[in-house]
Amino acid sequence: MTESLVLYESRGPAAWLTLNRPDKLNALSYELVRELRAAIRRVAEDDEVKVVVLTGAGRAFSAGFDISEEADSRVEGAEQWRRILADDVELTLELWSLPKPTIAAVRGWCLAGGCDLAMACDLIVAAADARFGEPEIRYGSGPVTLLMPFLLGQKKTNELLFTGDAIDADEAERIGLVNRVVAAEELEDAVDELVRKIAPTPLPVLKLTKLALLRAYEAMGLRSAVLSNLDLSAILNAAETPEQRQFDEIVTAQGLKAALAWRDSRYGEVLGRR
């Protein structure tokens, strides 16, 4: 049997969901997205679960959506791109609106769609080796779920989205992207401690508090902004700039690693995967 791409583990009042493609830095394939959406629905309906923890297997949280799979799909046109990206947005919004507190336990790379998932959680605990970023602009794309403007100040959001830079865990804590940074070997203990502080509160109280917070952000226009960005992202991905075409050609001819090296060489650094 093929091992699940999303592992489900009950730890007392918490359900741990683990993205399970460690050899691919937990890149979000179409099948992983489907499994994660099913897992989110499962924990939402289980009254034994008070807190949901999302993490990644191996040395990364997630490098983002699987670029090689997208390149192989030969997606053409804004309409087809919108259908694909809509699944990604729906996943992130399902996590965002899950009616229970959520915690992202992040180690290693947390990029692009993976960063979106972490930001969709209510709390983020990061290992000291964590790296966060939205590098999509470097190959002619953009954040699929535009959450960052609602979490960070305008100027820092602009900087990260225009440059595609990645930041380390300490910088992420300084700008308010994560709640705390701990040594890598202390990550799970730190998350367990947060669970212990949250779990004594009755589930109806947790749900109503979460709903109040969601409504506050949606009153600020979060959902409207995210859905507007979906339309623009579809157009952006279908733009077929010379750089986009060359990136896809390198993926096909030489593989994803070579394409990423070419992409990052244009910016004078090696950033890592999407």
Q: Are 78 and 234 in contact (CB under 8 A)?
A: yes
pTM of the model: 0.91
Q: What CA–CA distance (Å, rounded) separates 139 from 239?
A: 11
Give the pLDDT score at 263. 81
Q: Are 113 and 64 in contact (CB under 8 A)?
A: yes
Q: Are 51 and 13 in contact (CB under 8 A)?
A: yes
Give the pLDDT score at 271. 46
Amino acid identity for residue 15 in this structure: A
Tell me which residues of the chain have a pLDDT lower than 50: 1, 270-274
Domain ranges of the chain: 6-265
* Contact residues for 17 (Cβ-Cβ < 8 A; gap 6+): 6, 7, 8, 36, 39, 40, 43, 52, 53, 54, 55
* Secondary structure string (H, E, C) spanning 93-140: HHHHCCCCCEEEEECCEEEHHHHHHHHHCCEEEEECCCEEECHHHHHC
CATH of the domain spanning 6-265: 3.90.226.10
Name the CA dihedral angle for 188, 192, 198, 200, rounded to a multiple of 10 degrees. Answer: 160
Helix/strand/coil for 18 = strand
User: Cα separations (Å) of 212 from 49, 100, 127, 175, 218?
Assistant: 20, 12, 29, 24, 10
Give the pLDDT score at 72. 62
**H-helix or E-strand spanning residue 48:** none
Give the pLDDT score at 274. 40
What is the crossing angle of helices 77-96 and 112-120, to 10°? 30
